[in-house]
Structure 1
């Protein structure tokens, strides 16, 4: 076993994912449409072994959009209960900043079928309810300079 590691046999396993809240000058949210599943998401994805959530957000945005972005501050941490054969998880959203509408976004066809700027109504329509709640809270946290702790997309602090 590598130095500093411990045998974690028997300990619970949590999913961890990281994403970025990216907006345009009109405050529309950048959403992506994955090729490997139905529905829309924010740019981001699963944190890999030995990878921090912060580094995962950087990697995922590079892979999904061809952009080299430095995440800003942490906006939300959302604990999500287990469902449908999936373990519970911790999802984080960082501030991805504001991009000009002329920013060149390169979508890898194996990963995404497309992307779109989405206003508040479109975001609520495109995203599953849990993710829509998380993004609503992330937008509010950005606007107020706060960081929120959520459970299942509902703000507790």
Structure 2
């Protein structure tokens, strides 16, 4: 098979990148999108010819008005396809701890976000989708351990699931 045909036959995956920000109390920053019922991490889709790191920084600036360096990768999560969307790769970076001054500078992208909140880890499953809640819990573990984790639908890669 010629190389151009081979390349054209390869699978394409959607990608998104987000940032896990915390406040001084250790609560997680979640944003409330205007276009879906569940809350999310700040971030969004990786555009063509854009790295996940660059997408994370761009999306945080667009959504929150904060231009901050992107921290280390906390998790890479493969998400299986669902009826409403194809499979994808989600990258979560460590946004660090936001100071009171950082929080005061947050300016939401009004056409995409209705609000934001700092949420105790135990409340994340009430607001976020189940896969995102698992991903956030894994990321908090990675922050505490100083590591990164490979996930599949928010669960450690290789684990068997019912």
TM normalised by structure 1 equals 0.91
Contact 1:71/1:97 (CA < 8 Å) preserved in 2?
Answer: no
Deviation at 1:86, TM superposition (A): 1.8
Partner of 1:18 in structure 2? 17
Deviation at 1:11, TM superposition (A): 2.1
Taking the aligned partners of 1:120 and 1:137, their CA distance within structure 2 comes to: 11
Partner of 2:115 in structure 1? 114
Partner of 1:86 in structure 2? 85
Matched, 1:128 2:115: no
Partner of 1:3 in structure 2? none
Taking the aligned partners of 2:126 and 2:84, their CA distance within structure 1 comes to: 26
Partner of 1:72 in structure 2? 71
Contact 1:33/1:112 (CA < 8 Å) preserved in 2?
Answer: yes
**Aligned with 1:136: secondary structure?**
helix
**Aligned with 2:144: secondary structure?**
helix
Taking the aligned partners of 1:38 and 1:115, their CA distance within structure 2 comes to: 14
Unaligned runs of 5+ in 1: 1-5
TM normalised by structure 2 equals 0.89
Runs of 4+ residues deviating >6 angstroms:
none
Deviation at 1:121, TM superposition (A): 2.1
Deviation at 1:141, TM superposition (A): 0.3
Partner of 1:138 in structure 2? 139
Matched, 1:30 2:29: yes
The structure that is helix-richer by fraction is: 2
RMSD: 1.4
**Aligned with 1:17: secondary structure?**
strand
Deviation at 1:76, TM superposition (A): 0.4
Deviation at 1:85, TM superposition (A): 4.0
Taking the aligned partners of 2:153 and 2:108, their CA distance within structure 1 comes to: 29
Taking the aligned partners of 2:28 and 2:100, their CA distance within structure 1 comes to: 11
Unaligned runs of 5+ in 2: none
Taking the aligned partners of 1:85 and 1:65, their CA distance within structure 2 comes to: 27
Segment drifting more, 28-37 vs 96-105: 96-105
Contact 1:15/1:87 (CA < 8 Å) preserved in 2?
Answer: yes
Partner of 1:149 in structure 2? 150
Deviation at 1:69, TM superposition (A): 1.1
Deviations 1:47-87 (A, max 9, x none): 00010000000000000000011111110010111111421
